[in-house]
Amino acid sequence: MPALAWLGIVFVYPLGRLLSASLFTPTLSLASYARLLGSSIYLTVFVNTFEIGATVTMLALALGYPLAFVLATAGPRVSRLMLAAVIVPLWTSVLVRTYAWMVLLGRRGLVNEGLQSWGLLDAPLPLLYNRLGVTIGMVHVLLPFMVLPIYSVMKGIDTDLLKAAQNLGANRRQAFLRVYVPLSLSGLATGSLLVFVSALGFFVTPALLGGRRDMMIAMLIDNQISQLLDWGLGSALAVVLFAITAGLLLAVQRFTRAERLWARIP
Amino acid sequence: MTSRARALRLEAAGPLGRRHPLLIVFAIATLTFLVAPLAVVLPISFSAAKYLTFPPPGWSLQWYARYFGSREWMSATARSFEVAVLTTAAATAVGTAAALALRQPFRGRSLVRLIVLAPLVVPAIIVAIAIYGLYAQWKLVGTLSGLVLAHTVLALPFVVVIVSATLQGIDETLELAAQNLGANRWHTFRLVTLPLIRPGVVSAALLAFITSFDEVVVAIFVSGTQAATLPKQMWDGIRTEIDPTVAAVSTLLIGVTTLALGLLALVRR
């Protein structure tokens, strides 16, 4: 029970205070929320966040599904090595990984210098401080959350089912598309949800790699609280973000799966 | 490769046929995408250039010299280790107790589970400003205990998840046997349960350590200006100017993480 007391004081209670700050600034009213809805700037931030979240999720899926497939079907030694290449970045500080992308994508970074020295480019490409930089950085940070759930579901797929499908006359492609892919859908759903939900609340990566026009909700919250000291609006934003996150997770009821996933990640 | 491994591999590839070579290339490219950025930081940290450029024009230890010679960086490093060690101790003890408590059914268990695991999915920025708001009132901003309290909240779910998974794998009749033989609950835990779940507890402790040591968002708000942790100091450094001192620090952080994960792999074996 000390855990509960601890969380109660340092987690639940502060969250409750946020809710009350969003409602009672200065007196009980929905004024903060009205301001939130009333301004097109804040709306733009929400649209940005959802656009970036959706793009990142789709890209992570496009990269992660094939990788998970190769991981799940590789020999044990190869797959252990590949898994390490997914897990070490996962546990490396987000800040370090974001910084690495600043090094790679900057005007004098590896990518631009490389392309220029091969004569493919005359002037450096703007890869940083825009939507592209944020997207690349976030896909990198979140990709393991896509790969690992898909991998763990694929690991459990009984390949005899595919043999059976082929015995019944399906060719390899049909067996893969009609049997294997549907069986892996639960991993795909868990991964996509984890990536999307995490992307919505992302702070460090968009703050460092993004430009002014790519502001996401978390950056706006930071801006309101630490620059403008506007606890009313900042809290209202946090409450909305929290509601979206919790709503998505509860709606899909994958919370327990996500939890099991974390037990396997290390 | 042993013949057994080859057989396993063929077996795995069997029903789907050989995997398309393009698929393998794609997977390797994706893995490179994951690992390459971490690898790039290493040469940058040994660069002889005065600014950030790649490839480095020459090699030197200047950024490490600057890091080890800087009072701010050194105190941030010490602070990070302090916070991480205390967080690890607190989160491991409290989390293991919570995992044991959650093993037995009781009223409201699923709600308690939900609250314990919630920090995994609640966006860090929300946790950060919520705790910041509270600490501003309680005058805990910039204090060691404040940071440890906050980091423990973030590390607890990992401990609970891992220790719970380990507890599921042990034979409860051993504990019952101990109690039948006259051991009280503490002795049963100390002499039977704990030795059985030790690998899980050690893994959990290592992850708690990494969680705290690498944590940045809560630290940005809660650690204040005087008592910055290493990631907070990096954050400030990156925001003002991207000098390669940060690359040297990053290399050290990657080293610490890899070391902890390596230990974890050993424990799990």
CA–CA dist A215, A26 (Å, integer): 27
What is the extent of the structural domain holding A189?
Answer: 40-264
Residue A89 and residue B34: Cβ atoms within 8 Å? Answer: yes
Nearest CA in chain B to A81: B31
Residue B31 and residue A17: Cβ atoms within 8 Å? Answer: no
Q: What is the pTM of this model?
A: 0.86
CA–CA dist B27, A174 (Å, integer): 22
A75: in domain: yes
CATH number of the domain to which A158 belongs: 1.10.3720.10
Q: Is A80 helix (H, G, I), strand (E, B) or coil?
A: helix
- Would the pLDDT of B10 be above 70? no
H-assigned helices in A39-93:
40-73, 76-91
- Number of domains chain A is built from: 1
- Residue B217, class by beta-carbon neighbours within 10 Å (0-12 exposed, 13-18 middle, 19+ buried)? buried
Residues of A in contact with B253 (CB under 8 A): 92-93, 96
Residue B133 and residue A73: Cβ atoms within 8 Å? Answer: no
A184: in domain: yes
A87: in domain: yes
A206: in domain: yes
A27: in domain: no
Interface check for B217 against chain A (CB to CB < 8 A): the answer is: yes
Q: What is the pLDDT of residues A167-216, one digit of tens each?
A: 887 888 888 888 888 888 888 888 898 899 999 999 999 999 988 888 89
For an interface test with B, the pick among A1, A6, A111, A225 (most B C-beta atoms closer than 10 Å) comes out as: A6
Half-sphere exposure of B170 (CA within 13 A, CB side): 22
A225: in domain: yes
**Structure confidence at residue A132 (pLDDT):** 93
**Overall CATH class of domain B70-268:** mainly alpha
Residue A259 and residue B117: Cβ atoms within 8 Å? Answer: yes
Nearest CA in chain A to B37: A100
Ranges in chain B annotated CATH 1.10.3720.10: 70-268
Nearest CA in chain A to B217: A204
Q: What is the pLDDT of residues A60-94, one digit of tens each?
A: 999 999 999 999 988 888 888 899 899 999 999 99
Q: Nearest CA of chain B to the CA of A10: how many Å?
A: 7
Q: What is the pLDDT of residues B92-103, one digit of tens each?
A: 998 998 888 888
Lowest mean pLDDT across A247-251, B36-40, B177-181: A247-251
Nearest CA in chain A to B243: A103
Q: What is the 3-class SS of chain B, one letter each residue?
A: CCHHHHHHHHHHHHHHCCCCHHHHHHHHHHHHHHHHHHHHHHHHHCECCCCCCCCCCCECCHHHHHHHHCHHHHHHHHHHHHHHHHHHHHHHHHHHHHHHHHHCCCCCHHHHHHHHHHHHCCCHHHHHHHHHHHHHHHCCCCCHHHHHHHHHHHHHHHHHHHHHHHHHCCCHHHHHHHHHCCCCHHHHHHHHHHHHHHHHHHHHHHHHHHHHHHCCHHHHHHCCCCCCCHHHHHHHHHHHCCCCHHHHHHHHHHHHHHHHHHHHHHHHC
Residue A89 and residue B118: Cβ atoms within 8 Å? Answer: no
